[in-house]
Structure 1
Amino acid sequence: INASSKCTIYRYLVDHCTLQSYLTKRIPLQYKKLICKLRLSSHCLTIETGRYNNVPLQRRLCPLCTLDIEDEYHFILKCPYYCNLREKFLKKFYYIKPSVFKLILLLSTQNVKDLCNLGKYIKNAFVIRKLHV
């Protein structure tokens, strides 16, 4: 994993192989699955789909805003198309002056409410993405 260009977020989230605590929390299964997919880079963002189609990294742009590479960081904390969702579901701390460090904190939170809200955000953002792509 450390030598791969894939799963960059996962490397920061997991330091040893064990059941991740968010999976044991009392949150809806659909939210656990969505969070898991983002953490493992098992999703349809262009950072991954571009990899399958041999698109150069610099050309794997967000199909909605075309401002940045569409990776987990951009999808969750930066893309202007999801601004309203961010304000509705995420704490300001994460999206005001966003950083990869804050993304790691959000994806590794132990707070059940924050995990549920993250799941809701991901679910709704994927719906918006699907409608516009």
Structure 2
Amino acid sequence: MDAPYDEPLIKDVRYLGSYDLIKQDLIIIPGSPRVWDPPSTPFTIYPGKVKTKRRHRKPTDLGLELLFTAVDVMATPISWPDVDIICDRRALRILYNWINGKRDGFKIDLQPLGARALLLCEA
């Protein structure tokens, strides 16, 4: 049985913007995320407790409003109706892991926007 649709095609992918939520009422709009720089090998993992600088996700009632604000501040003017998928990094990471076989439970809110865009946000 042939599929009633063409094979999906990913093209014209581009980075639009990002932000970091520091406090409930403060965001930083940095530009692009860091490029992965793997550590030189061999390396030693030290036993015991180690403090990290990793920040944990902070809850916000603003949803993706912060993302839209960051893009509006950083980018050249965007025609939002021409954007196909809008999502936060967490939702994108969850979907990527699921596609690659990781079967942990998750919930993502999916909302259609206009005729062709999808809004994805971790629920």
Pair in the same fold by TM > 0.5 = no
Which range, TM-score by smaller chain?
under 0.3
Which structure has the greater CA radius of gyration?
A: 2
Name whichever structure is richer in strand by fraction.
2
Higher relative contact order (CA 8 A, sep 6+): 1
Q: Decide which structure has greater helix share.
A: 1
With the length of structure 1 as denominator, give the TM-score of the two structures.
0.25
